[in-house]
Amino acid sequence: MSFPQETARRRTFAIISHPDAGKTTITEKLLLFGGAIQLAGTVKGRKSARHATSDWMEMEKQRGISVTSSVMQFPYRDRIVNLLDTPGHEDFSEDTYRTLTAVDSALMVIDAAKGVEERTIKLMEVCRLRDTPIMTFVNKLDREGRDPIELLDEVEGVLKIQCAPVTWPIGMGKRFRGVYHMARDAVHMYSPTHGGKILRGEVIQGLDNPRLDEVLGSQAQDLREELELVQGASHAFDLDAYLAGTQTPVFFGSAINNFGVQELLDDFVEYAPAPQPRAARSRVVEASETAFSGFVFKIQANMDPNHRDRIAFLRICSGTFTKGAKLRHVRLGRDVKIPDALTFMASDREHVETAYPGDIIGLHNHGTIRIGDTFTEGEALNFSGIPNFAPELFRRAQLRDPLKMKQLAKGLQELCEEGATQLYRPLTNNDLILGAVGVLQFDVVAERLRTEYKVDCRFENVNVQTARWVSSNDPKRFEEFKDKAASNLAIDHGGDLVYIAPTRVNLQMAMERWPEVEFHSTREHG
Ligand code: GDP
């Protein structure tokens, strides 16, 4: 297959949803229908906030799928689908944010009983920054939920995006009988199956088909009347509006019962965008360009507990990656040979021979790769828009065994390279201060230090309320600043200088006192 064909058949996306809407279930079912796994539907217990921690860490073990889970690639029909996982808990939102910069479209999952929830709203805002096209799956129709018309109204009103129903549900809860596919004019009858069985229910062609009345009874007439209302009141699917991010095609179903997911996948591979152009600082890079380029959007340590490795996830923006290729690490201005990149087949972790725009490859990272780094065939490109946000919460790492100091510093350094937390080493003492956006991250880091680095540590309160990256165009004043404010300065894990303030007032005063110094609340990577 030629390079343009390989590029055109890629579909790279992520799922956005509020926790519990069914993201994990749908992921499994997509893999099931994609033929990537034999058996889906491992039962998962009730989740609580604490459970979410272990959920994240134990995911690989608990699930029937042996996945690195971050990226799942599977073929479907003549397409290659790349599904990028996003962590569910809101404390990992920055990670989610960055993953959404690496996709070409998103699938929004909504619980039919709950409608638009808070986390969905936030994720939608992120998608909107880049006008990411969004498909919607309304899940759990096997339970009593809200009126579908009302749900679409809510999506339109709250998320400010037009809805175009592609399928329409026939009843719900105990009376759920299937969906009607508008464009195909066909009813897909609901036949619940669990786990790994794929069973297609009857498909009845034509809304006027008398067979409908036979199997649906009075619900057939209800459906016809309701559809008249829906078609009059809602928007028809408009491919351009979907691709522009102003309209979302909507599907209904019940993921746990393997229903509605295949209809979704069929239309997804048909309509979802192929790899899109990406903005670098100097110019826009088209996926059709044959010179290789890509950027790192995620780093994960110790994915494989047997091989203490750190993997940098790179999204290919243009060109072909071939095993053994030499690439320019733009930030370091150095060429590096990549002998053993990973690809992410859902069933296994395999070595990449070739990869194309839209694909994600995993690079072994020995500390030289950071989130936001760009790799090319030589051009000094810099893909923009992958910021680091200044954390809001700070804790000091307190070791139980003082002899493990080196291990602790190493562990913190490596875990912070993943980007979810920031490590600060003050200039004037030996503290190790961790900054995070959410409380849960401290638990995760402590747990991972214990299991992955054999270091037992606690995080205790520290007198830091906020932090800002600092820089200046006035070298002389900057030196003075570094000298005078030394007790408030620290070096982060990326080697950048940070002002750590005990109070907001202190920060304010420092900013007033040092007008020549810039205080940044985000750090653009790279
Ligand atoms: P996530 O937090 O978004 O990943 O959601 P999960 O996939 O873990 O699902 C949350 C809960 O909803 C689990 O108990 C699932 O079994 C359940 N669930 C998922 N899909 C359906 C569905 O179609 N119908 C019903 N009744 N429950 C579902």
Taken in order of first residue, the domains within the chain and their CATH numbers are 16-62+108-271 (3.40.50.300), 278-376 (3.40.50.300), 389-524 (3.30.70.3280)
pLDDT band of residue 123 (cuts 50, 70, 90) is: confident
pLDDT score of 348 more than 60: no
- To the question of whether residue 19 is assigned a binding role by annotation, the answer is yes
Amino acid, single-letter form, for residue 159: L
- To the question of whether residue 141 is assigned a binding role by annotation, the answer is yes
Ligand 1 centroid, distance to 22 Cα (angstroms): 4
Nearest CA to ligand 1 atom 19: 22
- What secondary structure letter does DSSP report for 257? G
65 is written with which tokens? 């799928």
Q: For residue 10, what are the β-bridge partners?
A: 80
Q: Is the CB of 25 under 6 A from ligand 1?
A: yes
Rounded mean pLDDT, 233-260: 95
- To the question of whether residue 525 is assigned a binding role by annotation, the answer is no
- To the question of whether residue 160 is assigned a binding role by annotation, the answer is no
pLDDT of residue 415: 87
Nearest CA to ligand 1 atom 27: 140
Ligand 1 centroid, distance to 108 Cα (angstroms): 14
Nearest CA to ligand 1 atom 2: 20
Q: Give the DSSP H or E segment for 218.
A: helix 218-233
Torsion of CA 453, 458, 459, 460, to 10 degrees: -160
**Among candidate residues 411, 413, 402, 410, the one with its CA nearest the CA of residue 451:** 411
Q: Which atom of ligand 1 is nearest to the CA of 25?
A: 7
- To the question of whether residue 266 is assigned a binding role by annotation, the answer is no
pLDDT digits (tens, 9 = 90+) for 140-188: 999 999 999 999 999 999 999 999 999 999 999 999 999 999 999 999 9
pLDDT of residue 67: 36
In terms of pLDDT, which residue wins out, 53 or 140? Answer: 140
Ligand 1 centroid, distance to 186 Cα (angstroms): 27
- What secondary structure letter does DSSP report for 306? T
Q: Is the CB of 44 under 6 A from ligand 1?
A: yes
pLDDT digits (tens, 9 = 90+) for 417-441: 877 788 999 999 989 999 987 788 8
Ligand 1 centroid, distance to 234 Cα (angstroms): 28
pLDDT of residue 385: 66
- To the question of whether residue 88 is assigned a binding role by annotation, the answer is yes
Strand intervals (E) in 378-496: 387-389, 393-399, 421-426, 433-436, 457-461, 466-472, 489-492
pLDDT score of 43 more than 70: no
Q: Is the CB of 69 under 6 A from ligand 1?
A: no
**Among candidate residues 396, 227, 211, 379, the one with its CA nearest the CA of residue 295:** 379
Rounded mean pLDDT, 187-201: 77
- The region of weakest confidence among 226-235, 383-392, 423-432 is 383-392
pLDDT of residue 222: 95
pLDDT of residue 68: 44
Q: Which atom of ligand 1 is nearest to the CA of 257?
A: 23
Q: Is the CB of 111 under 6 A from ligand 1?
A: no
| Bridge pairing between strands 433-436 and 421-426 | antiparallel
- To the question of whether residue 359 is assigned a binding role by annotation, the answer is no
In terms of pLDDT, which residue wins out, 225 or 34? Answer: 225
Rounded mean pLDDT, 334-356: 73
pLDDT band of residue 74 (cuts 50, 70, 90) is: confident
pLDDT band of residue 368 (cuts 50, 70, 90) is: confident
User: What is the rounded distance in angstroms from the CA atom of residue 189 to the CA atom of residue 373?
Assistant: 49
pLDDT score of 62 more than 50: no
Percent of the chain predicted with pLDDT > 70: 87
Q: Is 2 exposed, middle or buried (0-12, 13-18, 19+ CB in 10 A)?
A: exposed
User: What is the rounded distance in angstroms from the CA atom of residue 188 to the CA atom of residue 181?
Assistant: 7
Ligand 1 centroid, distance to 43 Cα (angstroms): 10
pLDDT digits (tens, 9 = 90+) for 79-108: 999 999 887 566 566 778 889 999 999 999
Residues 6 or more apart from 371 whose CB is under 8 A from it?
98, 296, 297, 298, 299, 386, 388, 417, 418, 419, 525
- Model-level pTM greater than 0.90? no
